[in-house]
Amino acid sequence: MHGLKAIFRKELADHFSSYRFIILFSLITMVSLIIAYMVGVNIRQGLEGVAKPKFIFLMLFTAQGVVFSLVQFVAFFGPLIGLVLGFDAINRERNEGTLAKLVSQPIYRDSVINGKFLAGVVTISVMMVSIVLLITGMGLIIVGVIPGMEELWRIFLYLIVSIVYVSFWLGISILFSILFRSIATSALASIALWIFFSFVVSIGANVIANAVVPDVKESDIEARVQHIKVQRAISLISPMVLYSDGTATVIDPTRKTTSIVLVGPMEKISQERFSGPLPLSQSILVVVPYIISLIAITAICFAVSYAVFMRQEIRSV
Amino acid sequence: MEDMKDQVVIETENLTKVYGPQAAVDHVSFSVMSGEVFGFLGPNGAGKTTTLLMLLGLTEPTSGKVRVLGIDPARDSIKVKGVIGYMPENMGFYGDMDAVQTLRYMAELNSLPRDVADARIEEALKTVGLADEAKKKLSAYSRGMRQRLGIAELLVKDPKVAFLDEPTLGLDPDATNRMIELIESLTQEKKMTIVLCSHFLNMVEKLCKRVGIMIKGKMVAQGPMDWLAQEKLGLGSEEYTLEELYMKYFQEA
């Protein structure tokens, strides 16, 4: 614990006074408010003269706004928050010569990483919480619906998963800042990984699935299932997919499962007729594996960071 | 106090650090006594900084023994870092902090109580002559001011031993003289034991009684300067300069 508090405090103060944070925060707030406004107006128009359906409040987060829904927005651009907060965490100190001085104080070396990570997590949490609160507030005003207790719990859960998700990206960028001496390189590597997971994996999954299960005919249901299974298995290596699948059942209770179900037309009709939302406890059950996976990959990332940083030579030049 | 004088503060025995095929530090043995200023000389890349890093526990020795105040830095680096103040070459500062914030951060990292820290910070800033610029951002500091702030950090930490790596590098003559005065005050008023690495031989001559000369990873000479001069050049203490002595060793190696 030696030095953790001091480093945490200093890093937190740095984050909150940095232009980087202010720009990022205003950008994200702006986009979220626009999405919430569009969605809110749509919902209000849709609601006119109709009985209020269940979980209308959660639709603020899941319904499509201009291009994105808020959940999709966080899935795609949330990583950038984490990356921007951490990509120069260690190598900037190394380049400016402050690292040698820092590690020659009576502190554990891992306190440096932990302090920076924790400060980042708190910054991320403040951002996410304020965005969700803003949207909730706007929802109250525009839609005029008060969220129920269960909805609040779901929003809270969603917040937790989102913070874990963005913190994973923070961990990745801190790792890059340890691995690469140059700030430009670690920034580039972070962006490259983000592009890889957000675009390449989803396209690649489809390509590989086509190669593994070629020539799928419309009528061949077994082959189609196989195709989709392969595609999903591959796309699951992306934390982005983990996150969207993980949050989907929490924030969108009418979704029952994250895996595909093929049903016949009659079954589908009956299912729609009797479809009720999934209870909160069941939603949590579906989500837990995803959260654990996210935490696990963050932990791996940390283990590598520690191992590399402990062995690194710290020289002033 | 008198018996403190002859206490061994730093001791190494056959200290070796191998990087790849080359030994950066090759069986180096030396000792530094309490209260003295030990001049650590040698050309660039001779292994001086590597030796300092091993004394600090920042790098693990390949073989050999190190003790700083009886502590093994490889085993208990936290404890060693608590008693050594290290002023690295090309020391960096956080440009968006001011002097007080910087010193307070240093105090927090050393777990000093707030009231002790505040008192020391005020005194240190006065001693190094930065009290008037204490609220200025460090990005606006000149090199001389930054180096003096480095000394202020040492004063706040108040370690038993201080390692100064090229403290006067790139300073103008006036700033150099001020730095020499400050180092003198560290040893005389604060009773710190100092290991001074420098190419600025005039300063070393002025401050140090004993020197060690390191060339290509080996400690080629160590001892009181007069003694080395007599041994090597056959001259009395009046007729040589450290520069001549240093060049003599350098050419032989």
Q: Which residue did the predictor score with more confidence, A166 or A135?
A: A166
B92 closest CB neighbour out of A7, A97, A104: A97
The token pair at A315 is 């020289």
Least confident of A50-54, A152-156, A246-250, B37-41: A50-54
What tens digit of pLDDT does each residue of B12-57 get?
999 999 988 888 999 999 999 999 999 999 888 888 989 999 999 8
B109 and A314 within 8 Å at the Cβ level: the answer is no
Give the nearest chain A residue to B163 (CA atoms): A104
The pLDDT of A257-282, averaged and rounded, is 57
Count A/B contacts: CB-CB distance under 8 Å.
78
- So what's the ipTM on this one? 0.87
Rounded to two decimals, the pTM is 0.88
SS3 assignment, position A104? coil
Q: Return the pLDDT at B237.
A: 57
SS3 assignment, position A268: helix
Q: pLDDT band for position B5 (50/70/90)?
A: low
Q: Are A52 and A31 in contact (CB under 8 A)?
A: no
Where is average pLDDT lowest: A27-31, A272-276, B62-66?
A272-276
Question: What pLDDT is recorded for position A1?
Answer: 62
Above 50 in pLDDT, residue B1?
A: no
pLDDT class for A165, splitting at 50, 70, 90? very high
Q: Which amino acid is at B25?
A: V
More confident residue, A144 or B125: B125
Q: Is the pLDDT of residue B228 over 60?
A: yes
- pLDDT band for position A130 (50/70/90)? very high
For chain A, give the mean pLDDT: 84
Q: Which residues 196-235 of B have a C-beta within 8 angstroms of A?
A: none
Residue A107 C-alpha, separation from nearest chain B C-alpha, in angstroms: 6
- pLDDT at A258 (0 to 100): 47
Over range B101-120, report the average pLDDT.
95
Q: How far apart are CA B189 and CA A263, in angstroms?
A: 87
- Residue B172 has a CB neighbour count (10 Å cut-off) of 12
Question: Can you give B42-80 as a three-state secondary structure string?
Answer: CCCCCCHHHHHHHHHCCCCCCEEEEEECCECCCCCHHHH
pLDDT at residue number B170: 87
Is the pLDDT assigned to residue B252 strictly greater than 60? yes
Tokens 């209870």 belong to residue: A279
Q: Do A93 and B92 touch (CB under 8 A)?
A: yes
pLDDT over 80 (residue A159): yes
Is the alpha carbon torsion for B220, B223, B229, B234 positive or negative? negative
Residue B181 contacts A where some CB pair is shorter than 8 Å: no
Which residues of A are less than 8 Å from B157 in CB distance? 105
Chain A contact for B86 (CB, 8 A cutoff): yes
Taking Cα atoms as reference points, which of B77, B39, B83, B44 lies closest to residue B59? B77
Q: Map out the domains of chain A as residue ranges.
A: 4-311
State how far residue B232 is from chain A, nearest Cα, in angstroms: 34
Give me the pLDDT at residue B54, please: 92
Q: Which residues from A are below 8 Å from B93, CB to CB?
A: 96, 98
Q: Which residues of B touch A315 (CB under 8 A)?
A: 49, 53
Q: Give the residue with greater pLDDT, B10 vs A214.
A: B10
- Nearest chain B Cα distance for residue A172, angstroms: 24
CB contacts, 8 Å: B91 with chain A? 97, 100-101, 316
Contact A112, A103 (CB under 8 A): yes
Q: Which residues of B74-111 are buried (b: 16+ CB within 10 A; e: fewer)?
A: eeebbbbbbbbbbbbbebbbbeebbbbbbbbbbbbbbe
Least CB–CB distance from B59: residue in A7, A313, A316: A313
Nearest by CB to A103, from B58, B93, B95: name it: B58
Residue B219 predicted with pLDDT over 80: yes
Q: Do B49 and A315 touch (CB under 8 A)?
A: yes
pLDDT at A274 exceeding the cut of 60: no
Point out the least confidently predicted range of A139-148, A153-162, A233-242, B51-60. Answer: A139-148
